[in-house]
Amino acid sequence: MKVAPLNLYYGWFIFNFVMNSLFKTIALIGKYNNPEIMAPLLRLGEFLENRNLVVVLDSLTASNMPETKYPILTLDEIGLKVDLAVVLGGDGTMLNIARRLAPFDVPLVGINQGRLGFLTDLSIETMLETLSSIFEGNYVTERRMLLSAEVIRGKDSLFSALAFNDVAVNRGNGRGMIEFEVHIDGEYVYSLRSDGLIISTPTGSTAYALSCGGPILHPRLDLIALVPVSPHTLSNRPIVVGPEATVEILMHRTEGARIHSDSHSHFNLNKNDKVVIRRSPHTARLLHSSSHSYYRMLREKLGWSGFS
């Protein structure tokens, strides 16, 4: 009988030690003000405790619970102290948490309790089995780009925000179209009369931008899509630019125009305001099961199928 060399046993021990040490403190974050999330969240907490992992809750999630035995942390404290954040909710919840935790580079796992679930791709029914597999090292990591947006009025910076999906300039409640110029890397590209313009990441290419005829961009691509919203001139089509591009929008006719960051942060725009959008230095780190397939997800979420 052959005996494996000692260094193989040692290597196996170190490998398993490292894999089992990756995630020691886990944050549970649920969709805000949604009582339906409490039962699966508590079940998940018990599962993690049984694996001798430290469980913490974010403060907004805990505020919806009558009591909890887990430590309660703010999102900033979670960013500094945890090894993994598990988000239970829909894509909107994940968008918010990803923006907040991206500067801390905390890996995120999403469990879908919403509708489509492009970002929260684990199901509640199989979450325990899938997380067990992830804790054993069976996962893939995706780095998703974010955008930073800034509004400059005269010499003053009046607004800034991060966007995981997109930055959109829209006409708001105005009755007419808005008018603006678009510059990329300092070069004039076009003037646009439309209901707005969406500047999208690959993640956001399956959101608002898709409903306006934009292209679907694979999340491994670091690209920025510019998608007009109901342009007056039909020759204004979506274009895709590189990740280092700086997009500038100079407002002319505003008609109540607003800038929206992930439909979360808003700011009213005036004539001559300049909106500057560029790639953020931060990225969102998403973990998926090793069996995750982006194309299978597109088929399921968008209802693609074979010939009928």
DSSP structure string for 2-52: ----HHHHHHHHHHHHHHHHS--EEEEEE-TT-GGGHHHHHHHHHHHHHTT
The pLDDT value recorded for residue 237 is 94
pLDDT grade for 1, boundaries at 50, 70 and 90: very low
Instruction: Kindly indicate the confidence band of residue 66, based on its pLDDT and cuts at 50, 70 and 90.
Output: confident
Closest CA to 86 of 116, 146, 52, 43: 43
Are the C-beta atoms of residues 61 and 4 closer than 8 Å to each other? no
Out of 76, 83, 91, 273, the active site residue is 91
pLDDT at residue number 254: 87
According to the model, what pLDDT value does residue 264 have?
86
Helix (DSSP H) and strand (DSSP E) numbers for the chain: 8, 18
The pLDDT of residue 18 is above 60: no
- Determine the average pLDDT of the residues in 229-247: 95
Q: What pairs with residue 268 in β-bridges?
A: 258
Instruction: List Cα–Cα distances, 7 to 1, 13, 18, in angstroms.
Output: 18, 10, 16
Query: Does pLDDT of 67 surpass 80?
Result: yes
Q: Is the pLDDT of residue 2 over 50?
A: no
Superfamily of domain 146-281: Probable inorganic polyphosphate/atp-NAD kinase; domain 2 (2.60.200.30)
**In CATH terms, are 19-137 and 146-281 the same topology?**
no
* 147 neighbors 162 (Cβ within 8 angstroms): yes
CB 109 within 8 A of CB 86: yes
Concatenating the DSSP letter of every residue in 186-215 gives TEEEEEEEESEEEEE-TGGGGTHHHHTTPP
Question: What is residue 116's predicted lDDT score, i.e. its pLDDT?
Answer: 67
264-304 pLDDT tens trace: 899 999 999 999 999 999 999 999 999 999 999 999 888 88
Is the confidence at residue 6, as pLDDT, over 90?
A: no
Pick the CATH number of 19-137 from 3.40.50.10330, 3.40.50.300, 3.30.365.10, 3.40.1010.10: 3.40.50.10330
Mean pLDDT value of segment 37-62: 94
Q: What is the pLDDT of residue 7?
A: 54
Residue 9 pLDDT more than 60? no
Mean pLDDT throughout 30-43? 89
Note the pLDDT of residue 308: 59
Mean pLDDT of 5-16: 47
Q: What is the DSSP letter of 303?
A: T
Per-domain residue ranges of the chain: 19-137, 146-281
Q: What is the pLDDT of residue 12?
A: 45
pLDDT at 21: 55
Res. 33 pLDDT band, cuts 50 70 90: confident
pLDDT in tens, 158-214: 999 999 999 999 998 877 899 999 999 999 999 999 999 999 999 999 999 999 999
pLDDT-derived band of residue 241, with 50, 70 and 90 as boundaries?
very high
182, 247 Cβ separation under 8 angstroms? yes
Residue 262 appears among annotated catalytic residues = no
Q: How far apart are CA 113 and CA 288, in angstroms?
A: 16
Interval 80-137: pLDDT, tens: 999 999 999 989 999 999 999 999 999 999 999 866 678 888 999 999 999 999 999 9
